[in-house]
Chains A and B, each alone.
Chain A
């Protein structure tokens, strides 16, 4: 059974089909990149997979459960238990330290554990910045805190929306390296990106255009390491 399966999913706003009859499957432990120009439906798809929005038509099966029929309360619980979210804009709580931002995800999931949160920061190389506030961290460091927050509750899928969109090359490499490690650990990754170099690192790339799945490419030379086209 696939971890994630979209069957003829559409998202319709009035006359606009943000997603139009899209079907796809993602296996457990797979690293998938979703690419496409602006307005192609990438973020809409991410919102539906991330249980933050509902499909207008079709079925979305996560771990065999059709989440398209769930109430918003159940969707929140599914999101909390199974999905780790990473955003382009980081979205850290400005008045909490890096450590507390990671613990926030624990707090809404189960019980905050400072030691475990510190270990997560250690994994992303930020143990020494645990007591710093977001305003005291660089963009790359903030995104790494987001990664730590996303993985703290051991989610089944990590959904990253343009995770390197606001980062320089060095930080982009660090974040992709983190994804590679997560993939090695068996985490399923779905990364929405504009950046072909980031997309190429994934095992499989899905390209959306005008809300439809345009084509799909499989990276036969998958290593998980980024290669810059200099």
Chain B
């Protein structure tokens, strides 16, 4: 009989039920879209922020100590180096998938065309790597220094197999020495010489404008530091730091076993640094705070905005449900009064009305969920130019939210229903 009543009620007032379902669908679609984007926005924003440079810098342990003591601004004065053959290990750590890019650097001084000494930096440009996992990675400064403006020529392309005796010259240095693309420059280092073809003039807007950028092995030959690098810059997808991450960054040994497990299993920048240190011999990996902090800040603000939109949409849905259900109960006052008159207790009538509304909520919620996934993809493509991945976690969250919002929306109607007296509605008093 209960099911028959539910079915008949649905058929009779399908327009009202459709309105309620539509309201719920609207709320749940916005909640789904916002939750999908919110859960994926971390990766997306991080990906966007990668264009602003690396967020982790790896240096030799000794160099790190001297840097801290003398504030050398990253210049390697220690004579300690990292090993080039260990670079591939960075992509073998637990958070390998979060490492999106990295590049080694080695700097040396060399005289330019027999004249002044200039800084020559060897690095990867778009270095192609075949990883032990079967994956491939193109890493280097082409993507990590995307803000550099190439005034003339083109980025050095490591993958076209051309001559490796090429260089990119900073704008200020090129202007001071009248260097143009296509010129050949002679560099004489402490233990080697190289004649390099200028392939590009770049404007980095910083100290790099006075430098020459060459292949890693070219700089190693000039400095007689074969197989060694000064530093490694890493771009990693990270989770914004919290109290645990700050505690771990200060002293990982202060963590309890459970805390350490949580820390290592979360993509905190400090956890990734810790794991990089474990695979690169005698290294210290540290977060480039400015980038890491702004990532966290932007991410937190974006997520707060999404959360506010979600909450507002759900409040709107609750108000809509409230109006519609209250109107429905008012319309059915005589019917409810009659049920009470023939012996129905309040819980059974409340159960009947709630079942009708919750079934409607399920229909609206499911429709809204799929619409929300669609909205999320539209947001993903228009804002981040890529699809938003739907985390399974979104499903139970949306279900619980729809359930709670529907129940909250029903409260005034249920209060009215409980207060209905058969004499008043049946005799019109």
B8 touches A95 (CB 8 A): yes
- B4 contacts A100, CB within 8 Å? yes
Is B393 on the interface with A (CB-CB < 8 A)?
no
Residues of A with C-beta under 8 A to B337: 91
A106 — nearest CB in chain B belongs to which residue?
B1
Which residue on chain A has the smallest CB distance to residue B336?
A93
Choose among A52, A93, A112 the residue that contacts B335 (Cβ–Cβ < 8 A). A93
The listed residue (B1, B338, B341, B345) touching A112 by CB distance below 8 A is B1
B356 to chain A, nearest CB (A): 12
Assess whether B339 is interfacial by the CB under 8 Å rule.
yes
- Count of chain B residues near A, Cβ 8 A: 26
- Could you tell me the distance between the alpha carbons of A108 and B337 in the complex, rounded to whole angstroms? 13
Q: Which of A76, A77, A81, A89 has the most CB of B within 10 A?
A: A76
A151 contacts the other chain (CB 8 A) = no
Instruction: Tell me the number of A-to-B contacts counted with CB atoms below 8 Å.
Output: 69
Q: Which label, helix, strand, loop or mixed, suits the secondary structure of the A interface?
A: helix
Indicate if A225 sits at the interface (CB-CB under 8 A): no
Taking a contact as CB atoms closer than 8 A, the residue among A47, A53, A95, A105 that contacts B11 in the complex is: A95
> A119 to chain B: closest CB distance in Å?
17
Measured CB to CB, the closest approach of chain A to B273, in angstroms, equals: 66
A19 at the interface (CB under 8 A from B): no
Residues of chain A within 8 A of B421, CB atoms compared: 52-53
A94 and B12 contact, CB distance less than 8 A: yes
Q: How large is the interface on A (under 10, 10 to 19, 20 to 34, 35 or more residues)?
A: 20 to 34
Instruction: Enumerate B1-59 residues with CB–CB distance to A below 8 Å.
Output: 1-2, 4-5, 8-9, 11-13
* Cross-chain contact of B342 among A89, A95, A96, A149 (Cβ < 8 A): A149
A107 at the interface (CB under 8 A from B): yes
Q: Residue A179 at the B interface, CB < 8 A?
A: no
**Cβ of B343: which chain A residues have Cβ within 8 Å of it?**
76-77, 79-81, 105, 108-109
With both beta carbons as reference points, the residue of chain A lying nearest to B429 in the complex is identified as A43
Q: Does A31 contact B (CB under 8 A)?
A: no
Q: Which residue of B lies closest to A48 (CB)?
A: B423
Residues of B near A94 (CB, < 8 A) are 12, 335
Q: Complex: how many Å from CA A85 to CA B342? A: 7
- What does DSSP make chain B's interface, helix, strand, loop or mixed? helix
* Interfacial chain B residues near A77, Cβ < 8 Å: 343
* Shortest Cβ gap from B18 to chain A (Å): 16
B422 at interface (Cβ–Cβ under 8 A)?
Answer: yes
Q: What CA separation (Å) do A102 and B131 show in the bound complex? A: 76
Interface residues of B in 337-358 (CB under 8 A from A): 337-345, 348
Q: Report if A6 contacts B (CB, 8 A).
A: no
Q: Which of B1, B2, B345 interacts with A76 by CB under 8 Å? A: B345
Q: Is A220 an interface residue (CB 8 A)?
A: no
Render A38-75 as a binary contact track against B, CB cut-off 8 A, 1 for contact. 00000100010010110000000000000000000100
Q: Does chain A have a CB within 8 A of B426? A: yes
A103 at interface, CB cutoff 8 A = yes
Task: Compute how far the CA of A104 lies from the CA of B9 in the bound complex, rounded to whole angstroms.
Answer: 14
Q: In the complex, which residues of chain B have a beta carbon less than 8 angstroms from the beta carbon of A47?
A: 423, 427
Q: Please, which residue of chain A has its CB at the minimum distance from the CB of B425?
A: A91
Which residues of chain A come closer than 8 Å to B4, judged between CB atoms? 96, 100
Q: A93-B338, A104-B339 are in contact. Are A73 and B12 (CB under 8 A)?
A: no
CB within 8 Å for A96 and B341 given contacts A52-B422, A87-B426, A89-B426: no
Closest A residue to B338 by beta carbon equals A91
Contact A103:B1 (CB < 8 A) given known A52-B341, A85-B342, A93-B335: yes
Cβ–Cβ < 8 Å partners of A112 in chain B: 1
Residues of A within 8 A of B334 (CB): 91
Q: Kindly provide the distance from the CB of B224 to the nearest chain A CB, expressed in whole angstroms.
A: 93
Shortest distance in angstroms between B319's beta carbon and chain A's nearest beta carbon?
Answer: 27
Q: What is the 8 Å Cβ interface bit string for chain A, positions 124-156, against chain B (1 contact, 0 not)?
A: 000000000000000000000000010000000
| Bound CA–CA A107/B334 (angstroms) | 18
Q: How far is the CB of A108 from chain B (nearest CB, A)?
A: 4
* A88 CB, nearest partner CB in chain B, Å: 9
Residues of B with C-beta under 8 A to A80: 342-343
Closest residue on chain A to residue B5 by CB atoms: A96
- Residue contact A104 to B422, C-beta cutoff 8 Å: no
Residue from B8, B9, B338, B344 having most chain A Cβ neighbours under 10 A: B338
**Which 8 residue pairs spanning A and B have beta carbons closest together?**
A80-B343, A95-B12, A108-B343, A107-B1, A95-B8, A112-B1, A108-B344, A91-B338
**Given pairs A73-B345, A85-B342, A94-B12, 11 additional interface contacts (CB within 8 A):** A52-B341, A80-B342, A87-B426, A89-B426, A91-B341, A91-B426, A104-B1, A107-B2, A108-B343, A108-B344, A109-B342
Cross-chain pairs A/B with CB under 8 angstroms, 14 sampled: A52-B421, A73-B345, A76-B343, A85-B342, A87-B426, A91-B334, A91-B338, A91-B341, A95-B9, A95-B11, A96-B8, A104-B339, A109-B343, A112-B1
